Structure 1
């Protein structure tokens, strides 16, 4: 049987190295970060800056996330049309993660509280514009 996986991929506007370092410090796991200057770009349809991130993969902690530096004029991440949802085991664990995120420059977008559907839920926007939703299920 084939193995499947899912990972969001984010194209950052030139600050992928900074963002992935931040996520590695906050969410843990293993970070693999490759810059264009460390790869063979022969045959590429463009000439990427050598310090730009060609590919980054964060896995093994609270999240799995892939990405790199994007190129073009429309490179902004701040939006309310998407968020990355992290399911946590306890309210205390969620509150601790929120404290770490806000202590590092993130802002509360929606206070973490008991939601109408019965779970605890809240949102935090990180310094890179990504919206993180945190949920703790009350189901046992």
Structure 2
């Protein structure tokens, strides 16, 4: 059996912006498919033509899929029950990654410091509400 996995995030109408931001950080190829021109007859909700049906970021340091939530009571991606772990080569790379998130409006949730298990670890929440754990081997 061949199997691959990727996180999928439902954004409240910000998928295009979020995925372009992630591409700017992690590289890769971004494909975005809107509902415009799609037959949506029979859908339980009516998506706007600019709503993103599906987006994929592949081929860089992140394999991620996403789409816009549709409906009246849209959930936020902000949660403490999930996060995405970004593993970098050095603590300097971790500092740089966290700076890219915070420069765009993200907030540090846990400072990037030596962890009790011997690595350097921290957490940053991006301006879309997604939590990122950043881990580098060894300490700075």
Structure 2 length normalisation: TM-score?
Answer: 0.91
SS at match of 2:112: strand
SS at match of 1:37: coil
> Residues 57 and 38 (structure 1 numbering): CA distance in 2 closer, same or farther, change over 3 Å?
farther
C-alpha displacement of 1:87: 0.9
C-alpha displacement of 1:102: 1.0
Q: Which runs of 5+ in 1 are unaligned?
A: none
- Tell me what 1:71 maps to: 70
- Tell me what 2:34 maps to: 35
Matching of residues 1-140 of structure 1 within 5 Å: 2-72=1-71, 73-138=73-138
What is the CA deviation profile of residues 71-108 of structure 1, one whole-angstrom value per residue up to 9, with x for unaligned ones? 24141121112110011111111111111111111111
What is the CA deviation profile of residues 36-74 of structure 1, one whole-angstrom value per residue up to 9, with x for unaligned ones? 104333443332111000000011222111010012414
SS at match of 2:36: helix
Contact 2:46 2:70 in 1 (8 A): no
Measure, in 2, the Cα distance between the counterparts of 1:134 and 1:103: 16
Contact 2:45 2:70 in 1 (8 A): no
Measure, in 2, the Cα distance between the counterparts of 1:39 and 1:26: 30
Measure, in 2, the Cα distance between the counterparts of 1:118 and 1:92: 16
- 4+ residue segments displaced more than 4 Å: none
CA RMSD of aligned residues (A): 1.4
Structure 1 length normalisation: TM-score?
Answer: 0.91
Measure, in 2, the Cα distance between the counterparts of 1:23 and 1:105: 13
SS at match of 1:111: strand
C-alpha displacement of 1:20: 0.8
